Amino acid sequence: MYVPARVPAHAQASRSAPARAVGLAASVLVSIAGLAGVAAAQPVDENPPVMLQWFETKWSDIERRMPDFFKAGYGSVWLPPTGRAYVWPGSSNQNSTSVGYDVHDRFDLGKPNAQTAYGTESGFDAMVAEFHRADALVFIDTILNHNGARQGSSGFQLDGGYPGFWMAPGNPPTLKQPTSNWGDFHAGVSGGYRQSEDPGGPRYCLLTGDLVALIDINPSSNNQFIRQPTAAGNPLNIPAGIVFNRPDPDNARFYPDTALGVDTINNPGMGFAGPLNTGVFSPPCDIPARNEPASQISFGRFNLDNPMAGDPIPENATGYLLRWTQWMVDVKKVDGFRLDAAKHIPSWFFDSFWDAAVYQRRVTPDGRRVTPYSFGEVVDGNDFIFDRHIRKPNGRTSGRLTAGDLFGNRDALDLNGAGQLRNLVNGGGFGSWQNIVGSHLDNTDDGFNNGTLGVNHIWSHDNGVTGDGGAMPVLPTDRQQGWFAHAYLLMRTGQAEVYHHGRGVARTGQAFYPREGVPVALGNNTAGNTANPVITNLVQLANQLGRGEFQPRWTDGDVMIFERRTPIAGGYSGNALIGANDRYDSGFDQRTIGTSFPTGTRLIEMTGNAADPQVDPNNDIPEIITVAAFGQVTIRVPRNVSSAGEHNKGFVVYAPAIPSGAVSFTNIAATLPADSTAVPTYRRRMTSVPVITAPQFEIQLTTTNGDPGAASNDNADDAAFFKFGQGYQDLNGNGSVDVDYTSAVIPGFEAFLTENRPLAGTSNPSGLYRQTINADQLDEGFNYISVVAFRARTPGEAPLFRELREVVYIDREAPQAAFDNPGIVTQGQQITINALDHTVNRIHVIINPAPGLDPVTGSTIFNQAARLDRFDYVRTLSNLNNGRNTLLIVAFEESGNYSAQTTTVFVGCPADWDGSGGVDGDDIGAFFADWQAGNADIDGSGGTDGDDITFFFERWQAGC
């Protein structure tokens, strides 16, 4: 096995707040006595929030649609590769349109006039911050196996090659051959370059071959360089090219600050995972056994307060990749990684090095340090994936190895389960549900589908609904999307993921294009202007009802029926009953099954399909089922066609009634309307948002019985809680966070204290919960609110609840902007204005405004500054007067609130205050008249003061 030298220290931020573990106040405990299980962990019930794979949408458009993402119910996102792909340096257009898997420079997240396909680094940062405001985790696609296309020309080497990597160029460089020294990359053999995608093809080598002609990084190489040099002349610098790998002082921000010390990570290593694959390959293509010893590595710390204090240090290629990983978590604040092409990377790279680099690196909203979750793409059988590429906390022993410990948190995509689900969907009613349950990766560790392994999905950018990769994918039909299969996917145990192709990135000349996804994943149809909540309804039901074990109740070729249930003393308690049907002939299928629900329980159909005249025109599907003796029920599962036509909603979800209700707010000053249909669907915000400008307001929850036919309110709501953003903020003023991180259901939530009037146990028509909120405790701009109302249940049963998500816009302060005044300007000069907060959405620069001009009415499209970057706006100055000119800078936010500031610039002599063309006594009088009026910021300081007098007379005496 190739083992690289232990890499030098790298960067890690060590800024964390102490963990808070504040229990519920006594008064709150009394009010939720019936809410058993809220804070109790369920070791086999792993149901993280649903993940959206959101591709082909620019960062700025994703940020704009965050209210839609939040209200849809998603809790995490998988984004495409963030690094910059190669653009020929001589090209007039330096904006990359690559998807990003042919990464060129990982640390270059895009800049103005040289963007990635998705935007700039500043736009990425703003989007990630908005995801966190919306209480979502951000996972990025991560390329650790390869760079872009293998290029060996002398010109490419002279340019500097691949940023951060050494190609062992000659002096002078010559065209590289397969057998040349390739430095940090795997070389080929006399017959050509090895390849790793076709096991039956020539020169196949899984761990050293190029993947689809992308140059393969050799992680065992040990060429020590400062790979992002800051100063010329250092003999440790990687050799600079004409374009790439050149010293740049700004590179210091990519390095740790040695003055902050190091953190030493003790990696316990991994157990034995089977013999070498000798006989299948030949050296050096044998796959080594997974048997990594314990190791110790030290990592430096990024200086988040002063990024330019970073100290460049030598490292090898593996060290460079680890440092980028740390930088993305510590500085860019991502929460985890999807590991592309993980099968092609030796397991020791992850077990000994990468796991140490991410260990305890992510800081949770409550201040704890945890290991980020990651999931690999390993295109192989479940046993191979489990044996070599999974390392999860509390993993189980399969007989091959213990694939889990308290050190790693590395999972994998469930590619085999996804393939079987695609076969079922593509079968058009002639597939079989009997192929599904046993295919999942989740079975591999302990034989159960209990959520311990795998990212469960159906479609992805590689295996999409439609499209062959050579052109813009064709929009899929409703049938092709497989909505019935998503009902199974989202309501079963484990991490579920829905793939959405935003169609918001224009590409030209691309050999690879992401395949299509689910157009309705965010609640509106990409193909048109209509709302369609079929998937988002399921996402929300998964959040509310997805509790407990996965228990199949009926499986045949046509119908899958399963239960989610919770173990209780003496048996189980049912939480939800799900039926899915793949048939495309008209009608329904009826099955009688046993369940874990008590006799007499009224089960409500939650998707609305039973009440939909398109799905059930003859009222064959009951909206309520009453459980018979011994938990028996008769369930009818609609097919995907009815006598009213094809509807593709062949599924039902039954569960005990959960509270109904509505959330409202007081002191609403205005409403931000949803975008019109004129806005493209990839950018169109469907959510209208109330605006609050008052210093305080109330959040109010009114509840009603979720089963209006129930004989009593015994199972109505008995408790409700709320959370703004990521939570862990004392917003009800009782001095503590009411639900701490140990809660398995609502960590970080607050209780309603202004009024707390549950409906359960009363004869009232409704319940009411109110909380007064100090608006100044909240961020300016969009705030994302989750409110949950719990169904009253007996002790031991799983907590089921109704979640209501709302978004409000807090507008307590005017948006702010800053102008670095150059003082003297010229006609046609471009100036830059910086937005100082994330709420600014446009800036205007009015040149020499008329006296008394209203900044709002005076701001038109003719004086609007162009957005250069997420926080930077530019305006070209024209029609300036000779001498003094006044600029009125007006910054707006979406609510219409604005700020205005006046500053002075000069053409020619700044002492020619009256613009007469010469310097004389009249200029003194004109200057002091403006100075007394507070409009003489001649030195560009941002205010009129004594320094402006000094500045003026220095110029006046010099006569310019």
Which class for 309: exposed (0-12), middle (13-18), buried (19 or more C-beta within 10 A)? Answer: middle
pTM for the full predicted model: 0.92
Q: What is the pLDDT of residue 445?
A: 87
Cis peptide before 622 (omega within 30 of 0): no
Q: What is the mean pLDDT of residues 283-303?
A: 89
Model pLDDT for residues 704-763, shown as the tens digit of each residue: 999 999 999 999 999 999 999 999 999 999 999 999 999 989 999 999 999 999 999 999
Q: What is the pLDDT of residue 908?
A: 85
Most confident of 29-38, 40-49, 824-833: 824-833
Q: Using DSSP, state whether 255 is helix, strand or coil.
A: coil
Q: What is the pLDDT of residue 418?
A: 98
Contact 101, 143 (CB under 8 A): yes
Q: Can you read off the two tokens belonging to residue 652?
A: 């039902």
Instruction: Inform me whether the pLDDT recorded for 302 exceeds 70.
Output: yes
Q: Which tops the pLDDT comparison, 285 or 191? A: 191
Q: What is the pLDDT of residue 898?
A: 98
Length of the chain, in residues:
960
Residue 320's nearest CA partner among 14, 16, 98, 83 is 83
Q: What is the mean pLDDT of residues 297-320?
A: 98
Instruction: Inform me whether the pLDDT recorded for 280 exceeds 90.
Output: no
Instruction: Inform me whether the pLDDT recorded for 45 exceeds 60.
Output: no
Q: Can you read off the two tokens belonging to residue 704?
A: 């009603």
Alpha-carbon gap, residue 555 to 549, rounded angstroms: 17
Question: Looking at the DSSP assignment, which residues form a beta bridge with residue 55?
Answer: 501
Q: What is the pLDDT of residue 244?
A: 97
Question: Looking at the DSSP assignment, which residues form a beta bridge with residue 910?
Answer: none
| DSSP-derived secondary structure for 772-797 | EEEGGGS-SEEEEEEEEEEEP--TTS
Instruction: Inform me whether the pLDDT recorded for 41 exceeds 50.
Output: no
When the pLDDT of each residue in the chain is averaged and rounded to a whole number, the result is 90
Give the pLDDT band of residue 401 (cuts 50, 70, 90). very low
Q: Can you read off the two tokens belonging to residue 124?
A: 């990425």
Q: Which tops the pLDDT comparison, 794 or 29? A: 794
Q: What is the pLDDT of residue 821?
A: 87
Which class for 83: exposed (0-12), middle (13-18), buried (19 or more C-beta within 10 A)? Answer: buried
Q: What is the pLDDT of residue 833?
A: 97
Q: What is the pLDDT of residue 281?
A: 54
Q: What is the pLDDT of residue 273?
A: 58
| DSSP-derived secondary structure for 16-37 | -PPP------HHHHHHTTT-TT
Give the pLDDT band of residue 328 (cuts 50, 70, 90). very high
Q: What is the pLDDT of residue 394?
A: 55
The residue type found at 73 is G
Alpha-carbon gap, residue 806 to 773, rounded angstroms: 15
Q: What is the pLDDT of residue 17?
A: 28
Instruction: Please list, residue by residue across 700-731, b when 16 or more beta carbons sit within 10 angstroms of its beta carbon and e when fewer do.
Output: bbbbbbbbeeeeebebbbbbbbbbbbbbbeeb
Alpha-carbon gap, residue 512 to 846, rounded angstroms: 46
Model pLDDT for residues 624-645, shown as the tens digit of each residue: 999 999 999 999 999 999 999 9
Contact 562, 593 (CB under 8 A): no
Question: Looking at the DSSP assignment, which residues form a beta bridge with residue 624?
Answer: 604
799 phi and psi angles, rounded to 5 deg:
-75, 120
Model pLDDT for residues 873-903, shown as the tens digit of each residue: 999 999 998 888 999 999 999 999 999 999 9
Q: E strands, 278-372, where?
A: 295-300, 336-340, 362-363, 369-370
Instruction: Inform me whether the pLDDT recorded for 207 exceeds 80.
Output: yes
Model pLDDT for residues 649-662, shown as the tens digit of each residue: 999 999 999 999 99
Q: What is the pLDDT of residue 936?
A: 78
| DSSP-derived secondary structure for 864-927 | BPEE-SSSEEEEE--SPPSEEEEEEEEEEETTS-EEEEEEEEEES-TT-TT-SSS-SHHHHHHH
Instruction: Inform me whether the pLDDT recorded for 29 exceeds 80.
Output: no
Alpha-carbon gap, residue 273 to 288, rounded angstroms: 10
Q: What is the mean pLDDT of residues 268-293?
A: 69
Contact 659, 799 (CB under 8 A): no
Alpha-carbon gap, residue 892 to 750, rounded angstroms: 33
β-strands 76-79, 137-143: how paired? parallel
Q: What is the pLDDT of residue 569?
A: 86
Residue 703's nearest CA partner among 658, 765, 753, 660 is 660
Alpha-carbon gap, residue 302 to 328, rounded angstroms: 11
Instruction: Inform me whether the pLDDT recorded for 567 exceeds 70.
Output: yes
Task: Calculate what percentage of the chain has a pLDDT beyond 70.
Answer: 92
DSSP 164: T
Model pLDDT for residues 96-132, shown as the tens digit of each residue: 999 999 999 999 999 999 999 999 999 999 999 999 9
For 637, the enclosing helix (H) or strand (E) is strand 632-638
Instruction: Inform me whether the pLDDT recorded for 954 exceeds 90.
Output: no
For 311, the enclosing helix (H) or strand (E) is none
Q: What is the pLDDT of residue 14?
A: 26
Contact 290, 263 (CB under 8 A): no
Instruction: Inform me whether the pLDDT recorded for 274 exceeds 60.
Output: no
